[in-house]
Amino acid sequence: MNFLEFIDRYAAHPNYFAPRGNQLYAKSWQTEAPLRMLLNNLDHEVAENPDELVVYGGTGQAARNTGALRQIIKELLELDENHSLLVQSGKAVGIVRTHPEAPRVLIANSNLVPAWATWEHFERLKQDGLMMYGQMTAGSWIYIGSQGILQGTYETFVACGKKYFNNDLKHKLLVSGGLGGMGGAQPLAATMAGATFLGVDIDPERIKKRLQTGYIDHISYSYREAADLVLKAKEKGEAISVGLVADIGDTLQNMLNDGIVPDVLTDQTSAHDPLHGYIPSGISLEEAILLRNADPDTYRERSMKSMARHVGLMLKLQELGSVTFDYGNNLREMAKQGGEPDAYNFDGFTPKFIRPLFCEGKGPFRWVALSGDPEDIYATDQALIEAFPENHHMINWLKKARERISFQGLPARICWLGMGEREKAGLIFNELVRTGKVKAPIVIGRDHLDCGSVASPNRETEKMKDGSDAVSDWPLLNLMSNTAGGATWVSFHHGGGVGMGYSQHAGMVVLADGTDRAAECIRRVLYNDPAMGIFRHHDAGYEQATETLHQFGMEFK
């Protein structure tokens, strides 16, 4: 199949589709893997808006434009094991001489010199065709649909139940805004954790997508109907989820007026981007699109004022008893700039619930079956259950995931694993490929939201014990460690889920193709990657991280 035939079959805009099976189109699995994952990111089952090459997060793209995307595909089809492709903000810009165990693709997205790292400067560059926003896993080609954040959301909600509700979210109402590519994981995570869930999004298509994939149970266009549904379910202890088509600020105001106080309150609107992500209150979705194009300055001002109102209502509900936290979309900062002086009067989810897991090197380990066969994922599930019989939490998660998660695009799984566990799992997957127990290689990656790969003072590194929240040496060291270790592709991005100027983060993917070369790369990369989390938190003074350091013999010799 020549290049044009390949494009016509798998990448005829906007109908993108990753090849399945064990037939190679590229020269090796090392380049076939990133090629398939790039196309999978843009599959209509996975991406929020393939027409604009947007994967999730409002503007997070997989490639800069269709011409740049085709060039990347062409280079991946032709790339050999002694060269690596350079991708700058979604555009192939060169090929460098490397070696067989080097990353095949080196990606940098949305990075600006700090004094220029603003949305305004970024937008000028984007309009000139010089840059795109990569989010986290959109521009690093390892997004796996809403499942990608599902377990992290589940872990957060479970930790909330453990901390505040005696380990039980039954008869508890959890309310949140935003049901897009990231927020869309919330309803299923909440019900898996035992809660009754009300999610609010102004865009009905986002809720319909969650209905189609089984992530949400009901859609409603009426506040009264939705409130009645969730209140009755809460009283009965039923773990159901309802998606309400409405403005989140208006909904919280209605709840206050009616004396409805959620037990748990958070948010995952695309607040990090006040122009393209968040929809101002008081206007319809269609009116918002018109205003955004006609008068972006007015749109941004209205958006941030709406966020100030939104957070102000969250604060009132917190005073009435709601366990309230920021879920990493930079809502508090945008609200503060929009006029809410007390916006930071509730914590983010990382210091509140997740940091103890980071101190163990744990984070969102994910893998994808390049065969396209769900049975390959089920084989990996079973292999992990047999390999970690003592990890009851993981086993419970995997069983729930098989029962309740619909695959989007190439079948994939996510599971929070820590130091030692990731390396063991990766080698197990490589052996499954080598022995033919799965039908094609397995791609192993993670979210950039991980224990040692991010500097994000309003999210992953909020309130670090030593005050090192904004030190981005750590994600850079993570990038270099994984490059030196032999990851199959690596990435370094700016902005992620919190916006320009607020975060820097590194991503990695390593391929299990059943070879000895892959096994050596897996041993290095899946040691180095979680090790960075241990080093980072030990250096910051967390005793739990120091204990993990000693447990795995990671001290200086």
Q: What is the DSSP string of 66-78?
A: HHHHHHHHHHHHH
Which residues lie below 8 Å from residue 488, measured CB to CB, with a gap of 6+? 30, 33, 34, 103, 104, 105, 443, 509, 510, 511, 521
H/E stretch holding 86: strand 83-88
Distance CA 92, CA 82 (A): 17
Give the tens place of pLDDT for each residue, 177-200. 999 888 899 999 999 999 999 999
Amino acid at site 38: L
Q: What is the mean pLDDT of residues 31-46?
A: 97
Q: State yes or no: is 521 an active-site residue.
A: no
User: Hey, what domains does the chain have and what are their CATH numbers?
Assistant: 3-104 (no CATH), 147-346 (3.40.50.10730), 354-551 (3.40.1770.10)
Q: Residue 511 has what pLDDT?
A: 98
Which residues lie below 8 Å from residue 434, measured CB to CB, with a gap of 6+? 514, 515
Give the tens place of pLDDT for each residue, 16-35. 999 999 999 999 999 999 99
Distance CA 440, CA 361 (A): 29
pLDDT(117) > 90: yes
Amino acid at site 309: R
Q: Are the CB atoms for 396 and 178 separated by under 8 Å?
A: no
Strands 11-12 and 15-16: antiparallel
* Half-sphere exposure for 242 (CA within 13 Å, toward CB): 24
Q: Residue 148 has what pLDDT?
A: 87
* Half-sphere exposure for 467 (CA within 13 Å, toward CB): 0
Alpha helix ranges (H) inside 45-137: 66-78, 119-127
Amino acid at site 136: M
Residue 484's pLDDT band, with cuts at 50, 70 and 90, is: very high
Q: Minimal CA–CA distance to 310: which of 119, 458, 176?
A: 176
Distance CA 34, CA 104 (A): 9
Q: Residue 149 has what pLDDT?
A: 86
Q: Residue 23 has what pLDDT?
A: 96
Choose, from 160, 359, 415, 521, the residue flagged as catalytic: 415
Residue 411's pLDDT band, with cuts at 50, 70 and 90, is: very high
Q: What is the mean pLDDT of residues 271-284?
A: 94
Q: Residue 519 has what pLDDT?
A: 98
Structure-token pair, residue 444: 């192993």
pLDDT(367) > 80: yes
Give the tens place of pLDDT for each residue, 524-551. 999 999 999 999 999 999 999 999 999 9
pLDDT(58) > 90: no
Computed over every residue of the chain, the mean pLDDT equals 96
Q: How many residues does the chain have?
A: 557
Q: Residue 101 has what pLDDT?
A: 97
Distance CA 151, CA 190 (A): 10
Which residues are 94's β-sheet partners?
86
H/E stretch holding 8: helix 3-10
Which residues are 519's β-sheet partners?
none
Q: How many CB atoms lie within 10 A of CB 403?
A: 8
Q: Residue 307 has what pLDDT?
A: 98
Least confident of 73-77, 148-152, 230-234, 294-298: 148-152
Q: Residue 99 has what pLDDT?
A: 97
Q: Residue 557 has what pLDDT?
A: 73
Which residues lie below 8 Å from residue 529, measured CB to CB, with a gap of 6+? 422, 446, 450, 452, 453, 478, 481, 482, 485, 508
Alpha helix ranges (H) inside 343-472: 349, 355-358, 374-387, 392-404, 421-434
Residue 480's pLDDT band, with cuts at 50, 70 and 90, is: very high
Q: Three-state DSSP class for 512?
A: strand
Give the tens place of pLDDT for each residue, 441-471. 999 999 999 999 999 999 999 999 999 999 9
Q: Residue 48 has what pLDDT?
A: 92
Q: What is the mean pLDDT of residues 135-146?
A: 95
Q: Residue 57 has what pLDDT?
A: 86
pLDDT(1) > 90: no
Distance CA 71, CA 428 (A): 35
Q: Are the CB atoms for 269 and 56 separated by under 8 Å?
A: no
Dihedral, 222, 226, 231, 237 alpha carbons, nearest 10: 170
Distance CA 512, CA 447 (A): 18
Q: Is 426 left (phi over 0), alpha (psi -120 to 50) or beta?
A: alpha
For 477-490, give one letter per residue: b (16+ CB within 10 A) or e.
bbbebbbebbbbbb
Q: Residue 230 has what pLDDT?
A: 98
Q: Minimal CA–CA distance to 78: which of 53, 40, 104?
A: 104
CB-neighbour burial class of residue 424 (10 A; exposed 0-12, middle 13-18, buried 19+): middle
Distance CA 464, CA 434 (A): 42
Q: Are the CB atoms for 247 and 202 separated by under 8 Å?
A: yes
In the block, which residue shows the tokens 């609010």?
200
Structure-token pair, residue 115: 């004094």
DSSP-assigned letters across all residues of 162-191:
HHHSTT--TT-EEEEE--STTGGGHHHHHH
For 206-229, give one letter per residue: b (16+ CB within 10 A) or e.
bbebbeebebbbbbbeebeebbeb
pLDDT(340) > 90: yes
Share of the chain above pLDDT 70, in %: 100
